[in-house]
């Protein structure tokens, strides 16, 4: 192994002799002088060197003032004369030495710079530690800052590593080390190509500096140097992959190199005279005023631009001022020069490989970002579907504009919170809260239908006002019972965290659970509406209540049960929404508008329509937020405008449903 190799100079020396030879540099070390000593100790290797370096770094190392011998100390109380004593032992061999006065030894206190260098020196030792935890901790240090001296021991450690995960991390650290310190371009190229397909942030951060470049101006592009791109001042922008793209006039403000900066570069290189602005010209004229004149010009004559230019030219002719350069001359000078960027890395093989790998990574990152956007939209659509499906049933069957639907969502969330107060097991409490929320909101919905809604059928305006009033009353009741402070509805621990595909794509477990719950409800509702007597009677009343009544179906009873059923589903949605959102009295108000939009866009009274509406609104909202992530209010506004335009062309929604419109 590398760590056990001894140089010829050290082969005949013991470690103790080696340390004592360098005693002065160790005891009075600084970050500037400690390097050679640490290199020598690292080359010697072995457990003795590792233990010595560890004690040195931890400030546990002392030395005897008279002899300079390095020791480890332990407090031993006071002697008979009252003086403090120390129990010491040899810092290299561990051999017991005995009791000595505390004043006879001195602690070595390396500063932070020295300790940092010792930590870097310890890396090869720690990479071969028997403890996987130590190796893992060392790897984290290496991934942050790897030095050229770490490459050889790291390569040896990779061959001996038995833990696959640590071996993968070691290989990545070795590649990063090659990027930073590799001398052979073929080895660096192979290292770069080995990163292909790795979307982690640290890989992108390691590859980006390889493509770093410096902008240069010259009369022509040199034949030597690693050319990155040719730049047109004011019209060329640098892409993430190091290439360039032309911009139109609108994009000039984002140019990589502005006209002003380009000309300043030419001036600095001696390729053009300094540009003199009108203000600079006037300041030079003022500074040259003597006895009320500038050269042969009276101040009264300098009342126009041409006269000032002429007076300034006299100063230029006398070498008292730099030449006056017009904007046209500046543009011609810029056009006559060549601006280009040279890669800081001289090897075109290395930069070509880095650009190829980084382009491929950026393409995949973009793809996964779009996929992540789709998953976010799907997750949001699941929430909107859960919030709106109960409203779709009640609105579709009864044509009741229930503005209190959001408060049923809020009641379901508070039901889950109350259940958790009595059932501390979060998994069990959620299992109890779901049916409990359904029962509570079902009963509330039935009571509301019996006491208010049944008296307002076919009177939509009065129904809207009545349910709006009930909404305000329920919110205030919730504030009186639970207060205005947000209440937590805690998800089980197995819903914590996220399912991560890679560093770009991840979706939280709670969103996955809500998506699965939405699918379950979709299946349940389809079964209820298509396979049960209640569903058959509900669809019959929806199509033609008069005909349903003539066949023995009680439309009044169906209306009551349907309203209660829709309210119960809203309660279950409240439990789901409360798991990732704080439970407050305004919880339902945050979803009532989206619920109505989902129902109207999808098609009133249609389960599949509600699903389609939720998918459309969720995708639309996330897409708008993706373009303007800092302004969610704008996203809501644009979404409402789109929906207004949409219903102008499809007033009955995506999937139209025949219902009570057939009534006379």
Does residue 631 lie in a domain region? yes
Instruction: Give 324's contacts (C-beta < 8 A, 6+ positions apart).
Output: 276, 281, 309, 312, 313, 316
pLDDT 10s digits, 512-571: 888 888 888 888 888 888 888 888 887 777 777 778 788 878 888 888 888 888 889 889
595 shares a domain with 463: yes
The segment with the largest mean pLDDT, out of 291-295, 319-323, 435-439, is: 435-439
The segment with the largest mean pLDDT, out of 40-54, 107-121, 355-369, is: 355-369
User: Between these two residues, 305 and 462, which has the higher pLDDT value?
Assistant: 462
Instruction: Give 624's contacts (C-beta < 8 A, 6+ positions apart).
Output: 634, 635, 638, 639
User: Between these two residues, 398 and 358, which has the higher pLDDT value?
Assistant: 358
Range 479-485 average pLDDT: 88
The total number of structural domains in the chain stands at 4
Going by the DSSP 8-state scheme, the letter that residue 72 receives in this structure is E
Does residue 663 lie in a domain region? no
Does residue 357 lie in a domain region? no
372 shares a domain with 320: no
Domain stops at, among 188, 210, 232: 210
> For residue 210, what pLDDT is reported?
86
Contact 147, 120 (CB under 8 A): yes
Query: What are residue 562's phi and psi, to 5 degrees?
Result: -65, -45
> For residue 7, what pLDDT is reported?
36
pLDDT 10s digits, 114-152: 887 877 777 777 777 777 888 788 777 777 777 777 777
Domain stops at, among 259, 293, 324: 324
pLDDT 10s digits, 66-85: 888 888 888 877 777 778 88
Range 105-113 average pLDDT: 85
Domain stops at, among 126, 145, 176: 126
Q: Indicate if the pLDDT at residue 6 is higher than 50.
A: no
> For residue 443, what pLDDT is reported?
94
141 shares a domain with 114: no
Distance, CA of 123 to CA of 126 (rounded, Å): 5
> For residue 662, what pLDDT is reported?
40
Q: Is 468 helix (H, G, I), strand (E, B) or coil?
A: helix
User: Between these two residues, 286 and 72, which has the higher pLDDT value?
Assistant: 72
117 shares a domain with 191: no
> For residue 410, what pLDDT is reported?
92
> For residue 576, what pLDDT is reported?
86
310 shares a domain with 164: no
Q: Which residue is associated with the tokens 């300043």? A: 264
Distance, CA of 275 to CA of 234 (rounded, Å): 17
Show the tokens assigned to 101: 């006065």
Sign of dihedral through CA atoms 452, 454, 455, 459? positive
**Residue 618, CA distances (Å) to 17, 385, 636, 652 in order:** 74, 9, 11, 19
551 shares a domain with 421: yes
CATH number at residue 615: 1.10.3470
Instruction: Give 199's contacts (C-beta < 8 A, 6+ positions apart).
Output: 361, 364, 365, 368, 502, 503, 504
Contact 89, 71 (CB under 8 A): yes
pTM above 0.75, yes or no: no
> For residue 408, what pLDDT is reported?
92
> For residue 237, what pLDDT is reported?
57
Distance, CA of 435 to CA of 532 (rounded, Å): 20
434 shares a domain with 397: yes
Q: Which residue is associated with the tokens 């470049």? A: 213
Band of pLDDT at residue 397, cut at 50, 70 and 90: low
Contact 338, 184 (CB under 8 A): no
Distance, CA of 471 to CA of 469 (rounded, Å): 5
Q: Indicate if the pLDDT at residue 245 is higher than 70.
A: no
Q: pLDDT above 70 covers what percent of the chain?
A: 92
Show the tokens assigned to 365: 């990152």
377 shares a domain with 307: no
Q: Indicate if the pLDDT at residue 390 is higher than 60.
A: yes
Distance, CA of 80 to CA of 73 (rounded, Å): 20
Range 378-386 average pLDDT: 86
> For residue 656, what pLDDT is reported?
65
Q: Is 338 helix (H, G, I), strand (E, B) or coil?
A: strand
597 shares a domain with 558: yes
Distance, CA of 566 to CA of 390 (rounded, Å): 4
Q: Indicate if the pLDDT at residue 50 is higher than 60.
A: yes
Instruction: Give 531's contacts (C-beta < 8 A, 6+ positions apart).
Output: none
619 shares a domain with 582: yes
Does residue 236 lie in a domain region? no
Query: Facing residues of 75 across strands?
Result: 86
589 shares a domain with 536: yes
In this structure, the strands spanning 105-107 and 70-78 are unpaired
Domain carrying residue 163? 132-210
- Helix 112-127 / helix 151-160 crossing angle, nearest 10 deg: 30
**Residue 486, CA distances (Å) to 423, 473, 476, 490, 574 in order:** 19, 18, 14, 12, 14
Band of pLDDT at residue 473, cut at 50, 70 and 90: very high
Q: Indicate if the pLDDT at residue 244 is higher than 60.
A: no
Range 15-31 average pLDDT: 81
How high does pLDDT run on average in the chain? 80
Q: Indicate if the pLDDT at residue 627 is higher than 60.
A: yes
485 shares a domain with 463: yes
> For residue 236, what pLDDT is reported?
56
Does residue 262 lie in a domain region? no
Band of pLDDT at residue 249, cut at 50, 70 and 90: very low
Q: Indicate if the pLDDT at residue 583 is higher than 80.
A: yes
> For residue 439, what pLDDT is reported?
94
- For the residues of 560-572, what is the DSSP string, one character each? HHHHHHHHHHHHH
Does residue 270 lie in a domain region? no
Q: Which of 6-20, 161-175, 338-352 has the lowest mean pLDDT?
A: 6-20
Distance, CA of 627 to CA of 503 (rounded, Å): 21
> How many CA atoms does the CB half-sphere of 381 hold within 13 Å?
24
Range 50-73 average pLDDT: 84
pLDDT 10s digits, 407-464: 999 999 999 999 999 988 888 988 999 999 999 999 999 999 889 888 887 787 888 8
Show the tokens assigned to 159: 């061959």
């Amino acid at each position: 192994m590398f760590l056990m190799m001894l140089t010829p100079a050290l082969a005949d020396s013991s470690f103790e002799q080696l340390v004592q030879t360098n005693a002065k540099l160790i005891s009075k070390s600084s970050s500037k002088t400690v390097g050679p000593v640490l290199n020598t100790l690292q080359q010697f290797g072995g457990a003795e060197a590792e233990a010595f370096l560890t004690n040195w770094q931890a400030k546990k190392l002392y030395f005897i003032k008279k002899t300079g011998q390095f020791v480890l100390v332990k407090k031993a109380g006071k002697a008979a004369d009252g003086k403090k004593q120390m129990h010491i032992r040899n810092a290299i061999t561990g051999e017991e030495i005995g009791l000595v006065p505390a004043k006879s030894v001195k602690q070595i206190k390396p500063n932070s710079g020295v300790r940092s260098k010792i930590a870097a020196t310890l890396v090869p030792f720690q990479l071969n530690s028997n403890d996987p935890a130590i190796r893992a901790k060392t790897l984290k240090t290496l991934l942050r800052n790897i030095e050229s001296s770490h490459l050889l021991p790291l390569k040896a450690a990779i061959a001996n590593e038995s833990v696959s995960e640590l071996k993968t991390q070691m290989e990545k650290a070795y590649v990063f080390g090659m990027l930073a310190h590799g001398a052979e371009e073929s080895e660096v190229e192979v290292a770069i190509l080995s990163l292909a397909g790795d979307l982690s942030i640290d890989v992108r951060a390691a590859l980006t500096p390889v493509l770093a470049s410096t902008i240069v101006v010259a009369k022509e592009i040199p034949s030597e140097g690693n050319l990155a791109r040719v730049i047109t001042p004011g019209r060329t922008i640098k892409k993430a992959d190091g290439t360039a793209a032309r911009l139109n006039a609108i994009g000039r403000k984002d140019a990589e190199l502005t006209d002003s900066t380009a000309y300043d570069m030419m001036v600095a290189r001696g390729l053009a005279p300094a540009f003199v602005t009108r203000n600079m010209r006037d300041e030079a004229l003022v500074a040259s005023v003597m006895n009320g004149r500038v050269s042969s010009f009276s101040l009264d004559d300098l009342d126009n631009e041409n006269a000032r230019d002429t007076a300034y030219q006299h100063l230029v002719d006398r070498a008292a001022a730099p030449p006056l350069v017009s904007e046209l001359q500046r543009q011609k000078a810029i056009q006559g020069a060549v601006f280009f960027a040279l890669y800081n890395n001289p090897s075109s093989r290395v930069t070509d490989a880095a650009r190829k790998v980084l382009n491929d990574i950026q393409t995949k990152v973009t793809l996964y970002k779009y996929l992540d956007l789709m998953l976010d939209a799907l997750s949001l659509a699941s929430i909107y579907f859960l919030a709106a499906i109960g409203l779709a049933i009640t609105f579709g069957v009864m044509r009741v504009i229930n503005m209190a639907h959001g408060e049923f969502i809020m009641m379901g969330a508070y039901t889950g919170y109350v259940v958790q107060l009595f059932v501390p097991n979060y998994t069990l409490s959620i299992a109890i809260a779901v049916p409990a929320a359904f029962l509570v909101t079902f009963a509330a919905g039935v009571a509301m239908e019996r006491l208010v809604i049944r008296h307002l059928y076919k009177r939509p305006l009065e129904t809207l006002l009545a349910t709006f009033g009930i909404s305000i009353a329920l919110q205030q009741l919730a504030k009186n019972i639970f207060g205005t402070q947000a209440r937590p509805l805690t998800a089980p621990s197995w819903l914590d965290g996220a399912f991560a595909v890679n560093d770009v794509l991840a979706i939280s477990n709670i969103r996955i659970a809500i998506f699965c719950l939405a699918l379950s409800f979709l299946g349940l509702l389809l079964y209820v509406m298509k396979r049960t007597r209640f569903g058959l009677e509900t669809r019959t009343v929806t199509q033609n209540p008069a005909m349903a009544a003539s066949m023995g179906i009680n439309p009044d009873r169906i209306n009551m049960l349907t309203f209660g059923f829709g309210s119960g589903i809203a309660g279950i949605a409240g439990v789901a929404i409360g798991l990732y959102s704080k439970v407050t009295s305004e919880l339902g108000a945050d979803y009532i508008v989206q619920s109505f939009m989902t129902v109207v866009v999808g098609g009133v009274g249609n389960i599949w329509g509600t699903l389609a509406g939720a998918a459309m609104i969720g995708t639309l909202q996330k897409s708008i937020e993706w373009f303007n992530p800092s302004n969610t209010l704008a996203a809501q506004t644009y979404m409402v405008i789109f929906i207004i335009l949409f219903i102008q062309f499809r007033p009955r929604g995506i999937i139209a449903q025949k219902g009570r419109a057939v009534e006379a």
